[in-house]
Amino acid sequence: MTYQSLNPFDGALIKSFEVLGDPQLETKIAGAQSCFETWRHKSYAERATIIAKAGEILHSRAGEFARIMTLEMGKRISEARGEVEFSARILAYYAKNAERFLAPVKLNPVNGEAHMESSPIGVIFCVEPWNFPYYQLARVAGPHLMAGNTLVVKHAGIVPQCAIAFEKLLIEAGAPVGLYTNLLISHEQCDQAIDDPRIKGVALTGSVAAGRSVAARAGQNLKISSMELGGSDAFIVLEDADLEHTIPWAVWGRMYNTGQTCCAAKRFIVVESLADKFLEKFQAALSALKAGDPMDEKTTLGPLSSESALVQLLKQVDDAVAKGAKLVMGGKRVDRPGSYMQPTILTDIKPGNPAFRDEFFGPVVSFYRVKDEDAAIALANDSDFGLGGSVWTEDVARGKRVASRVETGMMFINNIDWSDAELPFGGIKNSGYGRELGDMGIQEFVNKKLVRTLKAEAPK
């Protein structure tokens, strides 16, 4: 396991970092456990002072944090600033609402009185990915720290400076030592952390393979876990869709973060009567994107996060074509320095083609024609994933009916707007389990304790 900042814009090595030794890992877990024994007794108001302050710092220095992200994983600077601002809103949201979310809930048993109360469980181990280097951290830090837990976090190897910056952010906001701890550790040390009895829960956002490995390890240790994994979201276009509204969303839904988003639109399922027109307009819009420096506000196509990500995606496209898919556009790297890929459209993808099942984590469109609404829903559900999806129609009531029939964790009607701290995020099937954000997100790692008072004679 290596931790390196490699700029995907030009391949330049910015900085390397050493993996922690086992004695250092022990010290950090011990510090998190020690901090928990104090933090768990803090009032919500005391916790909120620190978490809200961290959000304020993020907001006030959004450009500074965004620049680190763009240098490390190539996110276009405007999108990077947007991510920082959203992360700030998440921290503010939980600072404001945690006490309400975790307030005792009165129950009504036949006899006596009862309530449910929530309490923190301890140190939570989080494994987070590179594609949203601050947002992924904010959506575990906001709820779980406000709930009274402490966090130790293994971030992705290609964004070490983002990981370090987030830990420094919380320290600057007044966090005590051990509240939030960044761990530059190996995969083997991840197993050690999960096995450690002081770790009480495990949260992962990442690939299906990583989810299987980490969830299995947590299960062996009888530890609660949440898994936010991959996706292959359907973008269902019905015959009455307004293409002037739909096409810009199609471009954004597939190309935001250069397509490196779990809940991006990936499978475009269009009713036959509109398919040719949609494909023509979609192809024209994608062709207009221009590769450039992600630090330049005018750039419309950024690089992939790394050279290895690009090589993997190119191989997937080549394999798809070799197995019978038709390449409508793209399919190659952009002829320039850096890890850039042409926007790509594949059609004629049959069920036996690996592209029918696999997730394309980058600017690759899978395009399908279907005869009607029922066929669109059937194809949308014929997936190993179930994270998000969308439906496009002038008839909102129809859109709601379709949304209810698609087997996924999230559905959007005439939009793909995920960015609201109040909306729970998560999926089913190979997309994982558990929810982050919203009031559900803070409930994942708390003990829900029943307390009952019964005025009755003792049993005889």
Catalytic residues, by residue number, are: 228, 262
Cβ–Cβ < 8 Å for 407, 386: yes
Pairing type for strands 446-453 and 113-120 reads antiparallel
Cα torsion at 216, 222, 223, 229 (round to 10°)? Answer: 20
Strand partners, 391: 236, 413
Report which DSSP code applies to 446.
E
Strand boundaries in 263-370, DSSP class E: 265-271, 326-329, 344-347, 364-370
Which tokens hold the place of 281?
Answer: 């307009």
Burial of 419 (0-12, 13-18, 19+ CB in 10 A): middle
Strand boundaries in 296-392, DSSP class E: 326-329, 344-347, 364-370, 385-386, 389-392
- Widest CA span of the chain, in angstroms? 85
Cβ–Cβ < 8 Å for 231, 265: no
Q: Give the Cα separation of 285 and 288 in Å (integer).
A: 5
